[in-house]
Amino acid sequence: MDSQQASRHVAAEIESVGTLMRSLSGRYEGIFAELATTLHATLAQSGTMVEAARDAIAITEAAANSFRDNIPNQPAPACSSGCSPCCHLYVQVPPGIAALIADHIEASFTAVERAALRERLRVASDAFRAVPDPARLRLRCVLLGDDNRCTVYEVRPLSCRAFTSRSLPRCQQVVFGDAPDGGVEQNAAHFRIHTEATFALEQVAKARGLPSAQIGLVVALLEAMHEG
């Protein structure tokens, strides 16, 4: 092979891999389009918003697990059980999620635990109401147990599921330290999966003529527990 043939051979090899990579890039984007379509079609058939929230969580969990197990080069999270800085951030929920959590609490908490939780919710609600921007307030989540584990883990909000971090020091800096306006680098695909589910719940509520905006978890849960 002379140098001209060698050059053509190398260039052709790179061209063929480039074509393959472009095609894979389109397939990768297609994952999210398919997820959105599937979420909207499935949630549209859910009988109630609580069922829609349960279905949204099931689909996002399957999607996130499959991503973790099958897509290479996913960033390794620093998150672990009992690690809870992010549980001091302001959490918002789309329609259906608070009612799902309230049902779970009704079924799994004792009457004494529910009364204590209602009181913590009232205190937290007052604290959020007292500040101009609740998103800047750092408050221990009322659902965080004494062992720093979520007491409603199975039905925790989509935003809690979406949040990942590669660095505990960065989380501590943003939540408790000197970078309150900074961000924590997220696993983009994992975050996007949960954003799609949040949007789908908003859209389903809107299509049913229900309030569709996200609201703070504390206010939403207090209302849902009063209704329950």
Q: Given candidates 56, 99, 105, 156, which one binds ligand SF4 under the rule CB under 6 A?
A: 156
Which residue has 């919710």 as its token pair?
A: 121
Using CB under 6 A, count the residues that bind ligand SF4: 10
Token pair of 220 as six digits = 């939403």
Token pair of 130 as six digits = 């007292």
Count each helix (H run) and each strand (E run) in the chain, helices first: 8, 2
Label the pairing between strands 215-216 and 92-93.
Answer: antiparallel
| Contact criterion met (CB below 8 Å) for 224 and 98 | yes
Using the rule CB under 6 A, give the single segment among 3-11, 105-113, 152-160, 195-203 that binds ligand SF4.
152-160
CA–chain centroid gap for 165, Å, is 13
Choose between 31 and 78: whose C-beta lies nearer to ligand SF4: 78
Please provide residue 125's backbone torsions phi and psi, each rounded to the nearest 5 degrees: -60, -45
Q: Tell me how far apart the alpha carbons of residues 128 and 165 are, in angstroms, rounded to a whole number.
A: 25
CB of 217 to ligand SF4, least distance (A): 7
* Site membership for ligand SF4, residue 91 (CB under 6 A): yes
Look at the chain and count its residues. 228
Residue 8 burial by Cβ neighbours in a 10 Å radius (0-12, 13-18, 19+): exposed
CB of 124 to ligand SF4, least distance (A): 11
Choose between 160 and 174: whose C-beta lies nearer to ligand SF4: 160
* Site membership for ligand SF4, residue 87 (CB under 6 A): yes
* Site membership for ligand SF4, residue 160 (CB under 6 A): yes
CB of 158 to ligand SF4, least distance (A): 10
* Site membership for ligand SF4, residue 95 (CB under 6 A): no
Q: Tell me how far apart the alpha carbons of residues 103 and 49 are, in angstroms, rounded to a whole number.
A: 12
CB of 150 to ligand SF4, least distance (A): 3
- Pick out residues in 122-151 that bind ligand SF4 (CB under 6 A): 141, 143-144, 150
* Site membership for ligand SF4, residue 225 (CB under 6 A): no
CB of 83 to ligand SF4, least distance (A): 10
Token pair of 80 as six digits = 């672990």
* Site membership for ligand SF4, residue 220 (CB under 6 A): no
| Contact criterion met (CB below 8 Å) for 150 and 156 | yes
Using the rule CB under 6 A, give the single segment among 28-36, 38-46, 92-100, 153-161 that binds ligand SF4.
153-161
Residues near ligand SF4, by CB under 6 A: 87, 91, 141, 143-144, 150, 152, 156-157, 160
